[in-house]
Amino acid sequence: MSYKETLFFVAKCLTISLEDKNFLIVKDKIVKGSVDWDAIVKVSTAHFVFPALYCNLKRKELLQFLPEDLVAYMKHIITLNNERNLQIIQQAKQLDFLLKENNIHPVFLKGTAFLLQGFYEEISERMVGDIDFIVSPEVYEDTIQILKKNGYTNKDHLLNTVKIGNHYPRLVHENKIAAVEIHFRILKPPYDKSFTYETVKNNISKTAENSYVLNYDHQVLHTIFNKQASDYGYWYKTISLRNNYDLFLLSKKTNTLQAIKKYNRHFTILNTFLASSSYIFNHISSIHFVNNKKAATFIKHQIKFLDFPKKMNANKKIWNFYFENKSRLRKLKLAFVNKNMRKHLLHLIFKR
């Protein structure tokens, strides 16, 4: 199996619990013994969907057709991820309680939010790194100090007081499993202008245990923006199955096209991800999008880069150069008005 064939097969596997046509395709290929499982493990692991792959195969009773040693390995990874996610949920609930005691109401984001709201059929299905949440700008500094008083630390840095990116430098606790990122904005500039704490605060959803998370429409937006804008996926034309899988599940909860329609300024960035996700998952009907020329061109480039990895790497290098220099210019401008940024840049210059 080529990389492209493997990627699209993994993608289909992720949908088989909810999409009968893909289940039939996947089952036929597995039963015939025409699957390169080494390639499947490699690709699904690289895309952080190995646990989700296992969960879908188990739910549809396809594990019996897999090599025994592979199933044993899958079960081992699932057990580890389940234990980790249970600890992350516990840690997030402790943070929620701690902050609410101080009249601060965090809104959990990304993977942690999905775990707290029981979004996945199984806790072990999602791989989660950090605990992300955003708070009101008025209590942002207080939130940092509360966590630090309760054992969370980060390395002292000149830029701790400078708002670069979209969150405070990662905080860790020696007795906790996950690092914590306190967001002062949901997205990096310039996408933060139209999708902010102020625009989402009146439509927050509550979990069964009264933790706050974004509503489904806003989770659609956040999922897409994270890949397309924050990770430069719109320019790199790369695929991230974890983001695509989250979007697929969200499409079963809300109308994806309606979720992005308010954001005309960034409509192409958002719509191309919807179109790409539908294509990757074998034209899923629940993922609504506008099938226009820009969407078709975006997908065409993604496929080309899968067929010619060297072209994809060259494209990434070009855009990396652009974005890195854009970031340097932004920091240089900030240095004119921020003392700590000036010190940071001088430190970098003389360190070399």
Residue 41 has pLDDT above 80, yes or no: yes
User: Does residue 98 sit in helix, strand or coil?
Assistant: helix
Between the alpha carbon of residue 343 and those of residues 167, 168, 313, 326, 330, the distances in Å are 21, 19, 35, 20, 15
**CA neighbours within 13 Å on the CB side: how many for 11?**
22
Position 351 scores a pLDDT of: 56
Residue 43 has pLDDT above 60, yes or no: yes
Q: Higher-confidence residue: 20 or 330? A: 20
User: Does residue 316 sit in helix, strand or coil?
Assistant: helix
Position 163 scores a pLDDT of: 61
**Distance in angstroms (rounded) separating the CA atoms of residues 184 and 181:** 10
Between the alpha carbon of residue 10 and those of residues 4, 21, 35, 64, 122, the distances in Å are 10, 15, 10, 18, 18
Position 350 scores a pLDDT of: 58
Tokens at residue 316, please? 């990434």
pTM: 0.90
305-312 average pLDDT score = 92
Residue 286 has pLDDT above 50, yes or no: yes
Query: Residue type at 287?
Result: I
| Segment 243-268, tens digit of pLDDT | 999 999 999 999 999 999 988 889 99
Position 158 scores a pLDDT of: 45
Query: Residue type at 182?
Result: I
Residues contacting 350, CB < 8 A, separation 6+: none
Residue 162 has pLDDT above 80, yes or no: no
